[in-house]
Amino acid sequence: MLKDITLGQFFPGNSVLHKLDPRIKIIICIAYIVGIFLCDSLAAYIFLIAVTVLLMMISQLPIKTVLKGIQPVVVIIIFTALLNVLWRGGETELFSFWIITIYLEGVASAIFMMIRIIALVIGTCIILTYTTSPIALTDAIERLLSPLRIFKIPVHEFAMMMTIALRFIPTLIEETDKIMNAQKARGSDFSTGSLAERAKALVPVLVPLFISSFRRADELAVAMECRCYRGGSGRTRMTQLRLAKRDFLFMFLTALFIVAVLLINQYFPIYIA
Amino acid sequence: MTAAELKNVSYIYSQNTPFMKVAVDNINITFEENMTIGLIGHTGSGKSTVAQMLNGILRPTSGDVIIRGKNMWESPKKLKEFRYLTGLVFQYPEYQLFEETVYKDIAFGPKNMGLAEEAIERRVREAARFVGLSDSILEKSPFDISGGQKRRVAIAGVIAMNPKNLVLDEPAAGLDPRGRDEILGRIREYQQQTHSTVIMISHSMEDMALYCDKLVVMHESKPIMAGTCEEVFSRAEELEKAGLSVPQVTKLMMELANMGYDVNTSVYTIEEAKKELLRVLGGEVKC
């Protein structure tokens, strides 16, 4: 049950996207998001959809898994779409009933908003979370943020905290699952009853979970001290990040993507809204 | 009537993902009533999956689980009844304790069953007695007692629900030899007094030989042998292929037989071995 959470879950594979340098992937991801918000004309949106589908194909991820990533934001998508349809004014009236008047412009901007959000979620999932292991990701964040050390910001410590937190998410999920099962075997019921009853049913899960988390944190601290961990300074790495040809290629393609979006906006300004 | 039956049961973890794993592959196992049955197998052979299917925690990908003549997944609404019918003690169950006192923790199961206060009290005390917990411990916090005692509290928490079948996943894992003998002995006594069916998972052949009436051996998601201890341990070679072995004393007897002594090799416990050796030596022991 808890294993069904997919947003932000690494999906091992062997595609080019999996092999890209995680630092580059973060940069590409940011550029891609900027690109999404630069889209302005109908043609640009179509281009955006094409690029997203292309990314999906390159990543070789099962389409089902990718689409599952949208699930958590479905409510937001529907809400934004509704707001746009109902409140956005315009010139071409499509439909009018009582106090509700729906304009073509409203429908169009609702559709564009939906495309934007879906492209945003799918794109970031494909470029970052699905194809990058959490450890590689924090590693990259640490490297990208390392210039901040000049301002005495403990970048390494933050990265280590993040690594540990990410590392223990699956462990905690597994542990929660196990404890829930154990309490279910003793007759606990998590899925029926009123909200208050269900919240109360979680106590037998949360107490053991907290206790074991503290125990685990303590053990981890001792284990790290045993291996002489004393912070980031002077620490070397087992996996060195090195840029390969494909990283430069993808950087170039990303730049091309943004330029293309801008050009399309400029030369094919097909607006409905 | 059989205690539990698995009919053409398969279980696949994370189906349709790269993490897919077949844990149990189209198996048929019958657990008879009123005895202690050992479920043995190497790590990853599917024993724990079987245990969790017996209690309805896992739903088989295909096949039927029949508990005391009733099909478990016929109407999923009645699942709770099956949970009470078959108690399940997980591996390292001490990590599931949460209440303020040991008493309350053991009472958690019976309370969920909706029993009256007096009935709960009776069951808690009975269960505590079965696992050998004294009354003074009942009022302590489950976080202030020793590891072995915690384990007993957790087992008592399941026994207090009076299950007809009791499934224990490695009840003795991580305990010292004395704690192990004590717990397994208590479980055995419990089974004999209540005439329930106890299914124990372990990979210790010695424990199994000592405390079980029958054994089921799992290997690579399938049961490869089932029968009494004698029947199973007489097939030492096959066991070894499955990454398991016969008890150490049995090995010793086999070695002795190889060296030409006239000993019976179907000996599985130290007590039996002692008798057998004394018989061969003619009752006289000189040191």
B161 to A189: CB separation less than 8 angstroms, yes or no = no
Q: Give A67-77 pLDDT, tens digit per residue.
A: 877 888 889 99
pLDDT at A100 exceeding the cut of 50 = yes
Question: Pairing state of beta strands A100-103 and A93-97?
Answer: antiparallel
B56 vs A89, which has greater pLDDT?
B56
Determine the distance in angstroms separating the CA of A138 from the nearest CA of chain B, rounded to an integer: 23
**Contact (Cβ atoms closer than 8 angstroms) between residue B98 and residue B104:** no
pLDDT of residue A97: 76
Specify if A62 maps to a domain. Answer: yes
pLDDT range class, residue A102, cuts 50, 70, 90: confident
| Grouped pLDDT means (10 residues each) for chain B, 287 residues | 89 81 90 92 88 90 90 85 91 90 93 92 93 91 91 94 92 88 92 93 86 91 89 86 84 87 83 86 63
A185 to B97: CB separation less than 8 angstroms, yes or no = no
Specify if A162 maps to a domain. Answer: yes
Counting residues of chain A whose pLDDT is more than 90, the rounded percentage is 17
Say whether residue A200 is in contact with chain B using an 8 A CB cutoff: no
How high is the mean pLDDT of chain A? 84
pLDDT of residue B287: 52
Determine the distance in angstroms separating the CA of A31 from the nearest CA of chain B, rounded to an integer: 30
Specify if A272 maps to a domain. Answer: no
Say whether residue A150 is in contact with chain B using an 8 A CB cutoff: no
Give the total number of structural domains in chain A: 1
Q: How long a stretch of residues is chain A?
A: 273
A182 to B14: CB separation less than 8 angstroms, yes or no = no
B18 to A11: CB separation less than 8 angstroms, yes or no = yes
Substitution target from A186, A188, A207, A215 for chain B, most B beta carbons within 10 A: A186
Say whether residue A189 is in contact with chain B using an 8 A CB cutoff: yes
Alpha-carbon span B46 to B24, nearest angstrom: 6
pLDDT of residue B276: 85
Domain boundary assignment for chain B: 4-233, 247-281
From the list B16, B17, B57, the residue facing A185 with the nearest CB is: B57
Alpha-carbon span B89 to B83, nearest angstrom: 12
Strand order in the sheet with B197-202: B86-89, B165-169, B197-202, B36-41, B214-219, B222-228
pLDDT range class, residue A104, cuts 50, 70, 90: confident
Q: Give A169-200 pLDDT, tens digit per residue.
A: 878 888 898 899 999 888 888 887 788 888 88
The residue in chain B having the minimum alpha-carbon distance to the alpha carbon of residue A187 is B112
- Count of pairs with CB atoms under 8 A, one residue in A, one in B: 58
Say whether residue A216 is in contact with chain B using an 8 A CB cutoff: no
pLDDT at A7 exceeding the cut of 60 = no
The residue in chain A having the minimum alpha-carbon distance to the alpha carbon of residue B142 is A208
Give A-chain residues touching B88 at CB under 8 angstroms: 185
Specify if A237 maps to a domain. Answer: yes
From the list B18, B52, B161, the residue facing A186 with the nearest CB is: B161
Give A-chain residues touching B84 at CB under 8 angstroms: 187
pLDDT of residue A2: 46
pLDDT at A266 exceeding the cut of 60 = yes
A181 to B57: CB separation less than 8 angstroms, yes or no = yes
Cα atoms in the 13 Å half-sphere on the side-chain side of B166: 29
Long-range pairs, B140-148, Cβ under 8 A, ≥24: B140/B101, B140/B102, B141/B100, B141/B101, B141/B102, B142/B97, B142/B98, B142/B99, B142/B101, B142/B102, B142/B105, B143/A211, B143/B97, B145/B102, B147/B94, B147/B174, B147/B175, B148/B175, B148/B176, B148/B179, B148/B182, B148/B183
Both tokens of B251, joined, read 């090995």
Both tokens of B237, joined, read 């070679």
pLDDT of residue B21: 86
Determine the distance in angstroms separating the CA of B276 from the nearest CA of chain A, rounded to an integer: 43
B63 CB burial (10 A radius; 0-12, 13-18, 19+): middle
CA angle centred on B200, ends B196 and B206, rounded to 5° = 120
Give A-chain residues touching B87 at CB under 8 angstroms: 185
pLDDT of residue A8: 52
pLDDT of residue B251: 86
Structurally, at CATH architecture level, domain B4-233 sits in 3-Layer(aba) Sandwich (3.40)
B80 to A181: CB separation less than 8 angstroms, yes or no = no
The residue in chain B having the minimum alpha-carbon distance to the alpha carbon of residue A65 is B17
pLDDT of residue A189: 82
From the list B17, B89, B113, the residue facing A187 with the nearest CB is: B113
B161 to A187: CB separation less than 8 angstroms, yes or no = yes
pLDDT at A55 exceeding the cut of 80 = yes
pLDDT of residue A243: 84
Determine the distance in angstroms separating the CA of B198 from the nearest CA of chain A, rounded to an integer: 16
Domain span at residue A115 reads 2-267
SS3 state at A155: helix
B18 to A212: CB separation less than 8 angstroms, yes or no = no
B96 to A184: CB separation less than 8 angstroms, yes or no = no
The reported pTM is 0.73
Both tokens of B152, joined, read 């007993």
